């Protein structure tokens, strides 16, 4: 199975970082969040990726073009014009980087990668969220439901603590509880390639017309994830994830 990663947006809500790099290249623990997402999929046996490029996509190309140089010993023989890498990463990834347009909407980016898909089913997510989701079980659920699309549903924690009061007495306090009863789009999908028929072109926003139509036709199923999920929408989110990683308490680090 291939996994499609949407990595072309502007990331305006974290402009402190994205002024100089695409959002998926913002680092957690010295590695781009995109690397963390690929590691999550790889842990569950998905190693074939299609990454949709847009804003500053050349930086993602350069990163993977020089991937083995980041953590390997290397000899440059200038006279012979050769490069020898003495130790390389154990990652068995195949990565296809597709230019999908800087201004293309999310649906349009998915539509543009159709020539690179194999088979009927593929995974899809955004390049800015990490989770301890069991991708294998998500795929099994999708196949068992026999519908065109499955979305991971999550219930994120509130930003602030919650209190219950009896007059001026605090009767209950909970630090960062689940934010209400609503489930939200966790961004980890499994899709039939037939969903591409629901996308008109570059201006189509995946989360609008296609998902609304799939919902109306009862072709969208939700896989409830009760574990860890955290997007990196703001600098505060990035700092939170960085602190988790630095403390050795990163729930999404499910690989060895």
Q: Tell me, letter by letter, the H, E, C secondary structure of 179-213.
A: CCCCCEEEEEEEEEHHHHHHCCCCCCCCCCHHHHH
- Helix or strand (DSSP H, E) at 221: strand 220-224
pLDDT of residue 177: 62
Q: Decide: 25 and 53 in contact? Cβ < 8 Å.
A: no
Domain locations in the chain?
2-246
> Across 69-161, where does the E strand assignment appear?
74-77, 82-85, 94-99, 121-126, 129-131, 149-154
Q: Decide: 113 and 3 in contact? Cβ < 8 Å.
A: no
Tokens of residue 54, six digits: 């847009």
What is the rounded CA–CA span in Å between residue 142 and residue 139? 5
Q: What is the CA radius of gyration of the chain?
A: 20
Tokens of residue 35, six digits: 């690397």
pLDDT of residue 170: 67
pTM for the whole thing? 0.90
What is the rounded CA–CA span in Å between residue 8 and residue 152? 21
Q: Decide: 135 and 255 in contact? Cβ < 8 Å.
A: no
pLDDT of residue 76: 93
pLDDT by 10s per residue, the chain, length 256: 999 999 999 999 899 999 999 999 999 999 999 999 999 999 999 999 999 999 999 999 999 998 888 878 889 999 999 989 887 667 899 999 999 999 999 999 999 999 999 999 999 999 999 999 999 999 999 999 999 999 999 988 776 666 777 776 666 777 666 656 689 999 999 999 999 999 999 999 999 999 999 999 999 999 999 999 999 999 999 999 999 999 999 999 998 7
Architecture of the domain delimited by 2-246: Alpha-Beta Complex (3.90)
End-to-end, the C-alpha distance of the chain in Å comes to 22
What is the rounded CA–CA span in Å between residue 49 and residue 95? 5
What residue spans of the chain are helical by DSSP H? 15-18, 33-43, 57-65, 106-112, 135-145, 209-216, 235-246
Which residue, among 66, 10, 7, 71, has the nearest Cα to 33 in the 3D structure? 7
Q: Decide: 153 and 185 in contact? Cβ < 8 Å.
A: yes
What is the rounded CA–CA span in Å between residue 76 and residue 68? 14
């Amino acid at each position: 199975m291939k996994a499609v990663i949407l990595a072309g947006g502007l990331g305006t809500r974290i402009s402190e970082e994205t002024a100089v790099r695409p959002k998926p290249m913002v680092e957690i623990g010295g590695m781009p969040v995109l690397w963390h997402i690929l590691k999550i999929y790889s842990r569950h046996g998905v190693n074939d990726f299609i990454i949709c490029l847009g804003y500053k996509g050349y930086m993602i190309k350069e990163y993977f073009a020089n991937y083995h140089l980041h953590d390997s010993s290397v000899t440059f023989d200038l006279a012979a014009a050769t490069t020898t890498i003495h130790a390389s990463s154990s990652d068995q990834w195949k990565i296809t980087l597709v230019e999908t347009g800087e201004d293309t909407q999310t649906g349009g980016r998915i539509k543009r990668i159709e020539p690179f898909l194999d088979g009927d089913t593929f995974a899809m997510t955004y390049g800015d969220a990490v989770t301890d989701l069991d991708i294998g079980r998500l795929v099994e659920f999708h196949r068992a439901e026999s519908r065109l699309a499955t979305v991971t549903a999550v219930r994120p924690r509130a930003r602030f603590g919650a209190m219950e009061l009896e007059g001026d007495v605090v009767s209950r306090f909970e630090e960062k509880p689940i934010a209400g009863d609503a489930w939200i789009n966790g961004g980890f999908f499994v899709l039939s390639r037939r969903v591409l028929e629901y996308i008109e072109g570059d201006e189509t926003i995946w989360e609008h017309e296609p998902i609304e139509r799939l919902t109306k036709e009862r072709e969208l199923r939700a896989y409830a994830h009760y574990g860890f999920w955290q997007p990196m929408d703001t600098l505060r989110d990035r700092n939170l994830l960085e602190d988790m990683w630095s403390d050795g308490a990163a729930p999404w680090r499910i690989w060895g």
